[in-house]
């Protein structure tokens, strides 16, 4: 989400007084950032679009609770993270079942051998596709808290304290969840990304 603390202020005070037009400008300014966060947490466009709608709906009805201590963008992000976290918790998780890496004929390959080739090739594309598929499956298998905390820390680069507030847990819990998420992702992706001591 763009850091736009100053430019939001005028719209904010008008929107709080019930000016929907001012709120429209805020929505237009922040919608893409909210979508990106929601998609990263959920990995699914439809769910992410639902979260975008829910986030702005809640923001509108809670505008009077917004305190200027944080930026409007950070406040929205907190609402969005919370909505997406709720969606994650309602979802059924798929247990992770990672088989060997294969080439296009189904033969087993060593992903490390495929990786170093700097030139784009069919093999390399296949490798990339498998990497994405594995990553998607691994993300899907994380617990809701692990996935939410991981997304907010590593993809949205939010500080741990803010993540803990958004997800309603304490700092240590948020941090440990990120650690666990990273460990699980690395395990799912090894040996393409070998784990070092």
Point out which residues bind other proteins (CB under 8 A). 15-18, 20, 23-24, 27-32, 35-36, 39-40, 45-47, 50, 52-54, 56-58, 60-65, 86-87, 90, 131-132, 135, 139, 150, 153-155, 159-160, 175, 178-179, 182-183, 185-186, 189, 193-197
Q: How far is the CB of 35 from other proteins (least distance, A)?
A: 6
Mapping DSSP to helix (H, G, I), strand (E, B) and coil, where does residue 107 land?
coil
Query: Smallest distance from the beta carbon of 151 to other proteins, in angstroms?
Result: 8
Minimum distance from CB of 141 to other proteins (Å)? Answer: 13
Rounded to whole angstroms, how far apart are CA atoms 139 and 146? 9
Cβ burial, residue 194 (10 Å; 0-12/13-18/19+): exposed
Query: In this complex, which beta carbon is closest to other proteins, that of residue 18 or of residue 100?
Result: 18
CB of 171 to other proteins, least distance (A): 10
Which residue matches tokens 């990995």?
Answer: 43
- DSSP one-letter code for 70: S
Gap between the Cα atoms of 65 and 63, Å rounded: 5
């Amino acid at each position: 989400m763009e850091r736009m603390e100053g430019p939001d202020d005028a719209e904010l005070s008008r929107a709080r007084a019930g000016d929907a037009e001012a709120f429209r400008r805020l929505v237009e300014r922040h919608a893409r950032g909210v979508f990106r966060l929601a998609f990263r947490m959920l990995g699914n466009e439809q769910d992410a679009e639902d979260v975008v709608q829910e986030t702005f709906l809640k923001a509108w009805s809670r505008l009077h609770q917004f305190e200027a201590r944080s930026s409007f963008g950070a406040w929205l992000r907190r609402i969005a993270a919370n909505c997406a976290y709720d969606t994650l918790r309602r979802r059924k998780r798929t247990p992770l079942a990672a088989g060997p890496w294969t080439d296009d004929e189904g033969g087993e390959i060593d992903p490390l051998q495929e990786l170093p080739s700097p030139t784009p090739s069919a093999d390399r594309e296949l490798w990339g596709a498998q990497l994405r598929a594995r990553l998607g499956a691994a993300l899907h298998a994380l617990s809701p808290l692990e996935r939410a905390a991981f997304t907010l820390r590593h993809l949205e680069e939010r500080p741990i304290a803010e993540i803990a507030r958004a997800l309603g847990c304490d700092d240590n819990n948020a941090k440990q969840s990120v650690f666990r998420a990273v460990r699980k992702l690395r395990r799912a992706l090894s040996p393409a990304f070998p784990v070092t001591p």
